[in-house]
Amino acid sequence: MNGEEIVKTLFLSAALPVMMLAAAPALANDAPADPTAASAATPPPHFPRDLSPEGVKAADDHLALEEVDGAEARAFVAASNEKALAALTGDRRYEPFRQQAEAILTATDRIPGVSFLGEGLGNFWQDAANPKGVWRRTTLDSYRTAQPQWETLLDIDALAKAEGKDWVFKGANCLAPDETRCLVNLSNGGMDAVTVREFDLTTKTFVDGGFVIPEGKHRISWLDRDTLLIATDFGPGSLTESGYPFIVKSLKRGHPLEHATEVYRGQQGDGGYGVSPIVFRDKAGAVEAVLFSRPLDTFRSEIWALGADGKPYQLALPERVGVEGVLGGQLIFSPEQAWSFDGQDYAAGSLVALPMGVLGDVRQSIRIDAKTATIFAPGPRQSLQSVRVFPDSIVAVIADNVVGTLKRFTPGAGGWTATDIAVPANSAVGLGDSAKAKGQVFVSTQGFLTPPTLSLADVSTGALTELKSAPAKFDALTHVVEQFEATSTDGTKIPYFVTRPRNLAMDGTGPTILFGYGGFQASFPPAYKPEMGKLWLENGGVFVQANIRGGGEFGPGWHQAALRENRQRAFDDFAAVARDLEQRRITSPRHLGIYGRSNGGVLTSVSITQHPELFNAAVIESPLIDMLRYQELPAGASWMGEYGDPRIPGDAEFIARYSAYQQLRPEVKYPRVYITTNTRDDRVHPGHARKFAARLGDQGHDHLYFEDTAGGHSNDADPVANARRWARHYVYLAQQLMD
């Protein structure tokens, strides 16, 4: 990971053709009766009497399904897959859906996403002929044309065949400024763990005798052409309980990993995703600062800097912070909590510039005024979404009620001046790769009904030049987009987007998918989802995206409102949106389904167990579900800052309330849910999904379970396989909500 990559980027952006904001109508009786209320006094049959880790384990009758490749697990997966495939791929809609999805995912007319690569542009491309993909490059002038001339750098399909590996390309880290030497990340089967190999762009071959790092969850930055800063598995005792590294070493070219020299050390009890070395460079490629981000838990961290003497020292930053870059000796960062420093106050979610020397262990005596140090301070419905730091200015996306604006900030004697960079009205905006030397950054805009447009911004002038515009992949004229608000249990207004047919009969029969996430400060602005538009909207469906608490749509406070013991707020928000849709007569429980993956699997599984009366379908994908044992399943312990620690009695008590695996009841009527995951998912263990499906079956609840055997957590290994995945999803949803 290089310095630029610490920037928090969500390259999802949008342009809304229609937007309205309306308050939620009053609910006649607040909330529908909960069918589980009558039995609430009686614990579910598999709820542990003892919430200690030993007690939870003793009450679990499906531990064998946690063995990824165990015999019992394989037999369970085989039997479940046979049933699911018969129900889904045997449906008359499956093959048309699969063909339509594959045509979209392998289309050659989609926008090639690019990053700056030396004097040209790099792109990773997958299509029907190259399902594993090719890493390639072209010039900016050629990219502007309708048919760019691409030069292949690395053919992953050919490499996988030659080496007999199921290689999945996971990106490359190239050394500035010339970017001819790159560290290529290759995953076997799509896992997060990668093998790293040095690649020479001039010869288009792997470097003979170059850097090779064996498979692992590494954190790597170039220090110079012959030196890497690397955090990895250095042997016994070098990983946290989550399986992430906490030691950074300097590795010289030609030396084996065991000869690397330690430069920074966290602690084995650290949480989060492991310590990361971060190298910030100026426009000429010279090192401006070397930092180490040491995670204390999922969201709290210490930031250390490497001193001129080669020793690290801690910077006086808040524990919740996002570091964005260095500009003229000043550190650009966002405090994600209200923060006081040197007698000055800084708002949570603001963007701040302070001299590195002021933040060091031997602080320079410089009086700082918070007004001049604050680059941006958010309003009540605003949030800082992504930032790019240039030598003399900063470009940032600011979301206002989940709609994007693009601004340039320049320093002056009296503070920072903000200038708008024109983007389409009512848009969500995303920043792509940037080049300091060129003063340019890629900007995308898109919407639920508007295909993506990719532009190039000149930072010095603020000019935005369109490069590519994707063609429509479905008929958007049939639908409109609206934005509403629902009122949650505690009175909080929860915004959500509805994409619906223009002529929808407001009689509660609209087949509706409700999507939510609500975690890890991840924001979900409107995005063009071509497979959803083709397979769902064109068939008369409604799509709803709920911006519930736990996300980052309104800054760190929106996220932190639903952490740990307050997690129920996210579930309440989601249920409030479901009820609001019913009150507006857009849909009704019979025609309302939900979709969520990863952390969204917590949301959907809890929603089904807490409010089965609100939904008739749920796609629960790559999910966390057994929250009382999630810390035991890799890499669960890294998320305890989000959910809490089940090993602590007080935490276990509130976590148990949103652990759907233990909350299932045989007497409750649940909708027929579809649970799906991936055997090679090394981020969210497949045991969560397996055990939930098994217990549903034990209790006699109809359900479908399908487990793919490759692709990992991201499902991006193969577009052809991904087309089958989406076809299964939409066949199931059509069966439940349209038939």
**Positions marked active-site:** 598, 713
3-state SS, one letter per residue, for 399-435 = EECCEEEEEEEEEECCEEEEEEECCCCCEEEEEEEEE
Helix axes 71-88 and 719-737, enclosed angle (nearest 10): 60
Euclidean distance between CA atoms 702 and 612, whole angstroms: 13
* Structure token pair of residue 612: 């089965």
Tell me which DSSP letter residue 24 carries. Answer: P
- 667 phi and psi, to 5 degrees? -85, -10
* Structure token pair of residue 119: 């004097």
- 119 phi and psi, to 5 degrees? -90, 0
Which of 548, 445, 437 is closest to 488 using CA atoms?
548
Residues 350 and 338: beta-carbon distance below 8 Å = no
* Structure token pair of residue 533: 């538009």
Tell me which DSSP letter residue 366 carries. Answer: -
Q: Can you tell me whether residue 84 is helix, strand or coil?
A: helix
Q: Which residue has the tokens 């312990």?
A: 637
Which of 519, 514, 499 is closest to 546 using CA atoms?
514
Which of 384, 528, 542 is closest to 16 using CA atoms?
528
Q: Can you tell me whether residue 715 is helix, strand or coil?
A: coil
3-state SS, one letter per residue, for 517-551 = CCCCCCCCCCCCCHHHHHHCHHHCCEEEEECCECE
Q: Can you tell me whether residue 634 is helix, strand or coil?
A: coil
* Structure token pair of residue 651: 């935490």
Euclidean distance between CA atoms 253 and 223, whole angstroms: 11
* Structure token pair of residue 459: 């930072």
Which of 527, 587, 568, 577 is closest to 547 using CA atoms?
577
Q: Which residues lie closer than 8 Å to 110 by C-beta, 6 or more apart?
A: 104, 470
Q: Which residues lie closer than 8 Å to 269 by C-beta, 6 or more apart?
A: 240, 241
* Structure token pair of residue 614: 């609100």
Q: How many CB atoms lie within 10 A of CB 306?
A: 22
Euclidean distance between CA atoms 95 and 89, whole angstroms: 7
Cross-strand bridge partners of residue 593: 513, 617
Q: Can you tell me whether residue 343 is helix, strand or coil?
A: coil
Burial class (CB in 10 A: 0-12, 13-18, 19+), 338: middle
Which of 324, 320, 435 is closest to 386 using CA atoms?
324
Q: Which amino acid is at 469?
A: S
